[in-house]
Amino acid sequence: MHEKEKDLIDAFLRGQVDRRGLIKGLGAMGLAAGTAGTLLNLGQTRALAADFDWQAHKGKTIKLLLNKHPYADAMIADLENFKKLTGMNVVYDVFPEDVYFDKVTAALSASSPEYDAFMTGAYMTWTYGPAGWITDLNEWIKDPAKTNPNYAWDDMLPGVKSSCAWNGKPGGALGSEDAKQWCIPWAFEQNNITYNKGMFDKAGVGVPGNLDEMITTAAKLQKDIGGGVYGIGVRGSRSWATIHPGFLSAYSNFNEKDLTVSADGKLAAAMNTAGSKAFHAKWVQMIQESGPKDWSTYTWYQVGTDLGAGASAMIFDADCLGYFMNGGDNKMAGKLAYAAFTANPEAKASTPNIWIWSLAMSNFSKDKDATWYFLQWASGPEHGLFGATKMDFVDPVRQSVWKDEMFREKLNKSYPGYVEMFDASAPGASIKFTAQPLFFDLTTEWAATLQKMVAKEVPVDEGLDKLAESINGQLKEAGLG
């Protein structure tokens, strides 16, 4: 790196030049954008090394267990910077999601020391944490001798960070003062609307502003577009994953709950309240009128690919699912747009439930201090900015990354409405479920009941009363109700 380039990068790192000025200045020196980005990464690595002993574990090797995902791809693409910074080596196994969580469970339940850290969803830590399989990371986060001064833990979006912390008590509030930080948020998914702008224009409809409008808009789109296109895509398979995206985001926006927690900590089903029954009736109507014919088989994959192929007019699901469908070789690439969704007409803003891809440390790691060096780098602001600007690391969890002008321009250029959608819904984004060990079983039964309602096998009110009765029985049997 020549002195002029070094001086300009140093000025950027001191905050004297913004990111746009840096790239423009390096470009004036004859450097292509790719080369400029490489030099910036080198400069950031050098700056990090000046403030903290990143070489404390030089020569050590850690092993990761990763899900095949764009977030993992972004990390792998940036891994050489970590190796140069620390002198450590990183090896990893990558598995597709259909087998990934089985691999995680197998390793942890066997107390295997093979993997030091792994990708996880925050929901999974409600099982892993109380079982003693993962480590409370507060010990490292709060230790200035082990955490670099630029880590900026408070830069994480508050709702996302809190959603990754739980005290282990069934019904305990996420992010409470006594909560254990079971995992570090890495990147996450808000559930909002992705829609086909051309189809909306053809049908003469606007983006729905609440659930009633979503029902009528989806029905009009299906009628007016024709050609087998259906109005709205939402998940429907017999899985907990059907409940957590659009469904729970809308449900919780009406202040409805999955469970109640009594003063003495006892849990009880809350799906059969009058408000819940009214919501379910509308959701069921929307799917019956405007959902796909084989809705009960729909997972993340089918919801996304139908949108990308032009088979559906909109989806109410993960924002990043819509992001990925707007690129690549998808038929509708470049034709999709985004909007925050507030289901309740009386609510002030969107309050989406979220999925959080996170990083956790195995309690069976043989070198937790070295593993923490990797975790703080991978979840740090420098890597977050690299992933967001150079790769498909959406949605990043750091507020500083969302303030970066180049990242926002990248989204504005190819993903219309994405930045506005994020800004509108991020303040209210968090996990809305009640943390408890029966989470996966109870939400899967909820999805099965939803399927029966849509198939007209059971009336909504009766189905929810039976669901609540069943859930209360399971909670009492487990000593939770």
The answer to whether the beta carbons of residues 164 and 310 sit under 8 Å apart is no
The answer, yes or no, to whether residue 119 has pLDDT greater than 70, is yes
3 band by pLDDT with thresholds 50, 70 and 90 = low
The answer, yes or no, to whether residue 66 has pLDDT greater than 70, is yes
The burial class, CB within 10 Å (0-12 / 13-18 / 19+), for 323 is: buried
Where do the structural domains in the chain lie, given as residue ranges? 3-49, 61-189+355-428, 190-353+433-478
**pLDDT for 26:** 59
CA-based torsion, 329, 332, 338, 344: positive or negative:
negative
Separation CA 475–CA 481 (nearest Å):
5
CA-based radius of gyration for the chain:
23
The answer, yes or no, to whether residue 11 has pLDDT greater than 60, is no
| Residue from 29, 24, 28 nearest 1 by CA | 29
| 190-353+433-478 shares the fold of 61-189+355-428 | yes
| Torsion region of 336: left, alpha or beta (phi above 0 gives left; psi -120 to 50 gives alpha) | beta
Strands 61-67 and 180-181: unpaired
Partners of 166 in beta bridges: 180
**pLDDT for 51:** 83
The answer, yes or no, to whether residue 48 has pLDDT greater than 90, is no
* Residues 190-353+433-478, CATH architecture: 3-Layer(aba) Sandwich (3.40)
The answer, yes or no, to whether residue 367 has pLDDT greater than 90, is yes
The answer, yes or no, to whether residue 46 has pLDDT greater than 70, is no
| Residue from 299, 302, 207, 191 nearest 251 by CA | 191
Give pLDDT tens digits for 446-461: 999 999 999 999 999 9
Both tokens of residue 334? 């470049």
Partners of 185 in beta bridges: 358
**pLDDT for 443:** 98
Query: What CA–CA distances, in Å, run from 181 to 7, 65, 284?
Result: 39, 19, 37
| Residue from 335, 297, 341, 347 nearest 318 by CA | 341
* Average pLDDT for 12-24: 61
CATH code of 61-189+355-428, in short, is 3.40.190.10
DSSP-derived letter for residue 66 is E
Mean pLDDT of the chain: 94
| Residue from 381, 398, 373 nearest 140 by CA | 373
25 band by pLDDT with thresholds 50, 70 and 90 = low
- Cut 0.85: pTM above it: yes
The answer, yes or no, to whether residue 6 has pLDDT greater than 70, is no
The angle that helices 274-290 and 246-253 make with each other, rounded to 10 degrees, is 140
The answer, yes or no, to whether residue 17 has pLDDT greater than 60, is no
State percent of the chain over pLDDT 90: 89
Partners of 62 in beta bridges: 90
DSSP H or E run through 421? helix 418-425
Give pLDDT tens digits for 147-172: 999 999 999 999 999 999 999 999 99
3-state class (DSSP) for residue 454: helix
